[in-house]
Amino acid sequence: MRYPACLIAMALTLLGCAAARSATGDRVLVVLEPQVVKDEYSRFWSSLSDRGFELTFKGPKDDSAELVRYGEPQYDHLIMFAPAAKSFAAPLSPQSILSAQIAGLNTLYLLSPNISEINRDTFREYDLEFVERDSMLLDAFSHPTSATPATVLLPAASCAVSNGPLLSSKTLSGGPIVYPSGTVHSTGPNPYLIEVLHAPSTSYVGENRVLDADEVEVEASLTGKAAKEAVLTGKRASLVTAMQTRDNVRIGFVGSGDVFKDEWWGKTVKTADGTSHTAGNADFVSDFTKWVFQETGVIKVVSTTHHKIDESEPKEMYRIKDDITYSLVISQHATSENGSSAWSPVWLSDVQLDFTMLDPHIRTALPLISSDKTTSTYSTSFQAPDRHGVFKFVVEYWRPGWSYIRTSSTASVVPFRHDEYPRFIRGAWPFYSSTISVSVAFLLFCGLWVMLGEGRSKGKKKAE
């Protein structure tokens, strides 16, 4: 009975791998603080399970939640839903999470206005600065009629930023995204940050409370002004931000964890003008988590080749002014409608090649040449520069939403050998003609000098 059991275990393992849609793995650690009610997000957990992920729930002070053990990652993805936690277990400390992210851990942070100081310091490492505690996004013009201005409706067409494969066309053209009781942050000059969702133009940051006349007078006497100035307003207020490192580790920051609640999952909301819309939270959450967990926007280099035109074998050495063909094969990780994931062709219009030696000597576009069921081939031809040395074929593709790819191969460019130069060079004919004319003139001069000298010597002899 041992062998059938082993076969069954292997079959279940293969089925689990086939069901996983992520390009990096299906193990997810979910860290929930005590204030978060797990059952209020049941649809979100179910959607992840349906996509083939294995969820493990832990608390922020659980010492058994090891991210890395004996140098091996224990989880492929992390969901941190503990914005108000003031302390963490050693395996979940900010330093441990940063180390795990360097090793390849994708992380999704779900936040709230009550962000602890330890979390604020952690987010500053990513160049994110959040507003003061208990301050949240408010909008008196764009919110459901049944909710307060703290529940802001975000029209996807104007508030969501289209960054490559991060958000689908269904989300961008769908209903408004409900953003309840969410905090706001500003982004620094970090080039790896990607803006996903910003506030509408009519929104502002403040406290979700109405002051009476006495409270207004008290605050005016204490601060010296009738009202506080808005810290962030409109599009300057970032709500959802993504980040992707050069190692293709993805991190997501959502300012309101309530966006993932069952309450707004496909719910119909009525706006102030009386129109009803289906909330786009489900589609947004699905698209954003697919990107963070590397189900979408993942591309890789399959192979690269270079050779002379009319040849097929690659060469390690080319001659100056040789015609060279370079080809790049790329594949994209995609998920089909039946839930299976596979590598498929990808169509990109801005891939380019650098033929460089310290500085690029040639920079040219790599157009799409052909595609098959799993890959796409990009190719171009160019003439080697009239300079010898060690060159590199470099392709570097860094676009928001797509995986970062870089490939490099080396080849030498040598000058002509002494017996490979042409016998006569067309550009040197002026030098040839000047040399010939000087030689002819010298011969004529010598001939005339000899002839005239012989005639004078003969006349002298006759006179004698």
Predicted confidence (pLDDT) per residue in 132-180, tens digit? 988 899 988 888 888 888 999 999 989 998 877 899 999 999 999 999 9
Determine the pLDDT at residue 340.
Answer: 75
Tokens 């508030």 belong to 159
Same domain? For 313 and 409 the reply is yes
Query: Is the residue at 257 inside a domain?
Result: yes
Same domain? For 261 and 350 the reply is no
What stretches of 67-201 adopt beta strand conformation (E)? 68-69, 72-73, 77-81, 106-110, 128-130, 136-138, 151-154, 177-180, 185-187, 193-198
Query: Is the residue at 11 inside a domain?
Result: no
Same domain? For 26 and 134 the reply is yes
Determine the pLDDT at residue 310.
Answer: 87
Query: Is the residue at 406 inside a domain?
Result: yes
Same domain? For 249 and 308 the reply is no
Query: Is the residue at 148 inside a domain?
Result: yes
Determine the pLDDT at residue 402.
Answer: 94
Tokens 């049944």 belong to 146
At which of 240, 267, 292 does a domain end? 292
Q: Check if the beta carbon of residue 44 is closer than 8 Å to that of residue 260.
A: yes
Determine the pLDDT at residue 162.
Answer: 83
Residues in the chain predicted with pLDDT less than 70, given as ranges, are: 1-20, 208-231, 337-339, 453-464
83-142 pLDDT, tens digit per residue, is: 999 999 999 999 999 999 999 999 999 999 999 999 999 999 999 999 998 889 998 888
Same domain? For 331 and 232 the reply is no
Same domain? For 105 and 243 the reply is yes
Determine the pLDDT at residue 208.
Answer: 65
CATH at residue 37: 3.40.50.880
Same domain? For 313 and 176 the reply is no
Query: Is the residue at 308 inside a domain?
Result: yes
Spatial CA neighbour of 154 closest among 250, 259, 249? 259
Determine the pLDDT at residue 450.
Answer: 86
Q: Check if the beta carbon of residue 151 is closer than 8 Å to that of residue 269.
A: no
Range of the domain at 212: 22-292
Query: Is the residue at 17 inside a domain?
Result: no
Query: Is the residue at 421 inside a domain?
Result: no
At which of 292, 326, 345 does a domain end? 292
Q: How many domains does the chain have?
A: 3
Same domain? For 404 and 437 the reply is no
Determine the pLDDT at residue 337.
Answer: 65
Same domain? For 393 and 437 the reply is no
Same domain? For 79 and 201 the reply is yes
Tokens 């936690």 belong to 85
Q: Cα separation of 237 and 199, whole Å?
A: 6
Determine the pLDDT at residue 428.
Answer: 82
